[in-house]
Structure 1
């Protein structure tokens, strides 16, 4: 019963927590790939990942 109570309390605190806006966004540049390619080909990359 104690484990159930602990699980319930932990779950309720995660459910109450609010998601904040990120304060920092990091762009990773792959060798020989310019950063603006991410913006230019974003939709193609997303579709490629979702099709896998």
Structure 2
């Protein structure tokens, strides 16, 4: 499925959580802010928040 990450469209596996994506991209969770469709997502929600097509 397709999402936009830092302004660029990328393909990811369906059902991936925000936490999974951060790990796969080898990002420092302490240095990351997540916004989905103009809404900030709290770090506590990253493991359970599944990404959807066009997020």
Which category describes the TM-score, using the shorter chain as reference length? under 0.3
Q: Specify which structure has the higher proportion of helix.
A: 1
Structure-1-length-normalised TM-score? 0.18
Greater Cα radius of gyration, structure 1 or 2:
1
Q: Specify which structure has the higher proportion of strand.
A: 2
Structure-2-length-normalised TM-score? 0.18
| Greater length-normalized contact order (CA 8 Å, ≥ 6 residues apart) | 2
